[in-house]
Amino acid sequence: MEDIKKYDVILVGGGCAAMASAIYTCRAELKTLMLERKFVGGQVVITTDVDNYPGFPDGIQGPELTERMRKQAERFGTEIKSEEVVSLSVDGLKKTVTTDEGVYESPIVILAMGADPRKLEVPGEEELTGRGVSYCGTCDGPFYRGKDVFVVGGGSSAITEAIFITKFVNKLTVVHRRDALRAEKILQKEAFENPKMSFIWDSVVESIDGKEKVEGVTINNLKTGQKDKLPCGGVFVFVGNQPNTGFLDNLFSVDAGSHVEANHKMETSVEGIFAIGDVRKNSFRQIATAVGDGVTAAIAAQHKIADMKAKGGLL
């Protein structure tokens, strides 16, 4: 029979929310496993300047902040494994987490899988991904040195990344479906003052054009109906995120694009299962709020374990 390892708390995902949880659960002497399929740190690893996380008056680079969190979580005993969770099942208080490499059990599972970039789902996008279509300016910006590029989206991610990308490119055009940005005002001000940036309003990218690599985009003005084919060397897409909740279909009424509902203690409708950070419905999706979610869930989990023990449910 397969060797099943037992923990008090299993964290699915290894972003900032999960690391905050782990620091607290380990300090409460709960045996904690963190399962992360890609890299510890989550979306913040591919963020350059983090200027709004308290305690860093001059800002901090995303990779440095997450590395500090990882070290802190490990210092208190968090066990981190690079494995992808494929299923989660519940049998009373016992939760079984199956990964691509093993099977683990715990009374508490904290869901912290974060989110992946949402796609535009227009012709050319899939075929040209990695050949001029990118979802990460921080990772790919330097490859577009001297080129003219488009950024799609008007949120804080789009504008933060666009400002970073202008360090490399010749010219950057933001295409936004409305006539006002959603991004934080301080970012908007910086963008409007950036001489390399211009804006196409009320418009969507209808297709990304090119054979072997991106050669241009077709833009549709939603107000006038006018379509324009514009040349470019790259398209960066930042139109929101999609939570990684697909494997939970058996437990919650979620599909691949849905968030998980949780109460003020971050507990879901299943006793002992918590949801934090970008997977949680109505999250504000900030590093600070993710950390707050993580700490809240960790403290609630401690209470839950004590309660389970008091009722004789746990040995």
Binding site for ligand NAP (CB under 6 A): 52, 120, 152-158, 160, 177-178, 182, 184, 204, 238-241, 284-286
Residue among 42, 33, 47, 51 nearest 278 (CA)? 42
Strands (DSSP E) contained in 222-311 are: 227-231, 234-237, 241-243, 273-275
CB of 153 to ligand NAP, least distance (A): 4
CB of 240 to ligand NAP, least distance (A): 4
CB of 118 to ligand NAP, least distance (A): 7
CB of 115 to ligand NAP, least distance (A): 9
- Give the angle 126-132-137 at the CA atoms, nearest 5°: 105
Q: Which residues pair with 79 in a beta bridge?
A: 33
DSSP letters along 202-220, please? SEEEEEEE-SSS--EEEEE
Give the whole-angstrom CA distance, residue 10 versus residue 6.
Answer: 9
> Do residues 262 and 235 lie in contact, with contact meaning Cβ atoms separated by under 8 Å?
no
CB of 33 to ligand NAP, least distance (A): 28
CB of 29 to ligand NAP, least distance (A): 34
Q: What radius of gyration do the chain's Cα atoms show? A: 22
State which residue, 52 or 198, has the beta carbon closest to ligand NAP. Answer: 52
State which residue, 224 or 312, has the beta carbon closest to ligand NAP. Answer: 224
State which residue, 52 or 170, has the beta carbon closest to ligand NAP. Answer: 52
State which residue, 192 or 284, has the beta carbon closest to ligand NAP. Answer: 284
**307-314 long-range CB contacts below 8 Å, 24 or more apart?**
308/93, 308/107, 308/272, 313/92, 313/93, 313/107, 314/93, 314/107
CB of 210 to ligand NAP, least distance (A): 19
Token pair 């295409």: residue = 175
State which residue, 61 or 286, has the beta carbon closest to ligand NAP. Answer: 286
State which residue, 14 or 137, has the beta carbon closest to ligand NAP. Answer: 137
State which residue, 114 or 210, has the beta carbon closest to ligand NAP. Answer: 114
Sign of CA dihedral 14, 15, 16, 17: negative
In the three-class reduction of DSSP (H, G, I as helix; E, B as strand; rest coil), residue 305 is classed as helix
